[in-house]
Amino acid sequence: MERLECRVDIADLDAFVAHLGELGERHGVTIQAFDARYVAGRDHLERAVELADRAIGRGENVARDRAVEILLYAAGRRQITRALEMGVSEGRNQAVILVDSGTDGESRDEDAETAALEALEEELSGSLTPEPTLETVDERRLCEFFEITDAEREATDASLEELVCERVALLEVEK
């Protein structure tokens, strides 16, 4: 899995999402864009990819599209409309764009991922600026979105990212 942290200006969300899908197909990868404010860190996205691929492999996926299944797991939700809150929207976004070529954890094509990232940056150069977006985390927003209470945080020495990853994993149990 590769990721691009960036600022992206989106005039037409449907066209942007379609462009990501076409770019992914062209390079044989899955591309999904997230609002960085809802991403707890790299482990959060890696866990979502792993669990989405497991669900797809078992035929237990909710979404037909791998990118959407990854979004569902990253958001810790089974309903696509609720998970979309974690996606990018029209206007200026602090984003994390995930690019992944594997579906079983072992067959990654790093060259395809790199080529897709390069094409993404080139084709969206007018609206996309690479910049760190995961350096600071909005803990309040993450706790609200993932329903992590103060009491839960006080009861453990786990990091917020670990608690978010637990929510992602719980989606598997809630089926």
pLDDT tens-place string over residues 139-175: 999 999 999 999 999 999 999 999 999 999 987 766 5
Query: d(Cα 66, Cα 54) in Å, to the nearest integer?
Result: 11
Please give the pLDDT value at position 173: 65
Please give the pLDDT value at position 147: 94
C-alpha 145: how far from chain center: 14
Please give the pLDDT value at position 4: 96
The reported pTM is 0.93
Are 49 and 70 a contacting pair, CB within 8 Å? yes
Please give the pLDDT value at position 171: 79
Please give the pLDDT value at position 106: 59
For the chain, residues with pLDDT lower than 70 are 103-106, 173-175
**Residue 65, exposed/middle/buried by CB under 10 A (0-12, 13-18, 19+)?**
middle
- Please, where are the H alpha helices in the chain? 13-27, 42-58, 66-75, 80-83, 110-123, 139-145, 150-154, 160-173
Are 104 and 58 a contacting pair, CB within 8 Å? no
Please give the pLDDT value at position 102: 79
What is the three-class DSSP state of 9?
A: strand
Largest CA distance in the chain: 47
Of 50, 15, 19, 23, the C-alpha closest to 113 is 23
Of 130, 174, 159, 118, the C-alpha closest to 7 is 130
